[in-house]
């Protein structure tokens, strides 16, 4: 089979087009394996849909299904435009979290995120105050003055206790700096789109940032999150890294 590899600010994905839905959990584990497969944080399968440009199946590297992934939404929009599945530099597609609308300008892609749900503002763990926010998938968010130290074992414990991704962030000069432990990858990743959006939501609600900010994930890249006309938008560059034939 032929697959395409994309990186969205260090968050990487394998994707291909299929005609029918199927359980591809085992395939996801094989393709995403860093040593024996293509290597990726997730698998995206693009499927036909009668109303939208397409719908997707999204699998984490461990084969689990996720409703939404912000970085993957930008990468798959670019992929769909190249394949002629999306038209006029726009993509509208169905995810497990709802419909995503993306605008593609060269390698720069902006996704309109699904409406978030603030599940709790009062989570106390490890001496810190966390918010639990579903920005497509659930995220715990803590705000710190410094994010140099990220205790992965504590993050792993919280991930399983709340079945959520775990984020620490800080604000500096109206910019957000974010680190994320992702469920399904079960480690810190270089970037997490829904995590960056969740961090923005908390800080925006608390009045710590303006309606549009630069966001820097662990990869060091620069992305943008904004709140415009009641919609949270997430933008940044994507990279098509290669197309390959795999024997998996």
Give the residue numbers marked as catalytic.
69, 192
Helices (H) and strands (E) counted in the chain, each on its own, are: 4, 17
45 half-sphere exposure, CB direction, 13 A CA radius: 21
Tell me the C-alpha distance between 44 and 223, whole Å.
22
For the chain, the farthest-separated pair of C-alpha atoms sits apart, in whole angstroms, at 51
The SS3 of residue 154 is helix
Instruction: For strands 90-95 and 212-216, give the pairing.
Output: unpaired
What is the b/e burial string over 199-225, where b = at least 16 CB atoms within 10 angstroms of the residue's CB? bbbbbbeeebbeeebebbbbeebebbb
Q: Could you count the other beta carbons within 10 Å of the beta carbon of residue 168?
A: 25
What is the DSSP track for 39-71?
Answer: --SEEEEEE--SSSSEEEEEEETTS-B-S--HH
């Amino acid at each position: 089979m032929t697959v395409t590899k994309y990186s969205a600010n260090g968050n990487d994905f394998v994707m291909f087009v299929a005609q029918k839905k199927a359980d591809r959990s085992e395939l996801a584990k094989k393709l995403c394996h860093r040593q024996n497969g293509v290597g990726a944080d997730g698998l995206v399968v693009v499927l036909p849909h009668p109303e939208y440009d397409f719908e997707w199946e999204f699998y984490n590297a461990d084969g689990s299904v996720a409703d939404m992934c912000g970085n993957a939404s930008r990468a798959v929009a670019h992929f769909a435009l190249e394949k002629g599945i999306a038209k006029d530099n726009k993509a509208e597609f169905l995810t497990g979290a709802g419909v995503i609308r993306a605008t593609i300008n060269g390698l720069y892609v902006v996704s309109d995120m699904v409406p978030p749900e603030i599940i709790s503002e009062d989570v106390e763990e490890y001496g810190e105050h966390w918010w639990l926010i579903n920005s497509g998938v659930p995220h715990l968010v803590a705000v710190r003055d410094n994010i140099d130290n990220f205790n992965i074992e504590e993050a792993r414990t919280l991930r399983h206790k709340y079945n959520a991704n775990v984020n620490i962030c800080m604000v500096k000069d109206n910019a957000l700096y974010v680190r994320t432990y992702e469920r399904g990858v079960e480690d810190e990743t270089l970037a997490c789109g829904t995590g960056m959006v969740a961090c923005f939501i908390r800080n925006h609600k608390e009045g710590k940032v303006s309606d549009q900010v630069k966001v820097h994930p662990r990869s060091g890249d620069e992305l943008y999150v904004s709140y415009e006309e009641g919609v949270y938008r997430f933008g940044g560059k994507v990279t098509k890294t290669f197309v390959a034939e795999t024997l998996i």
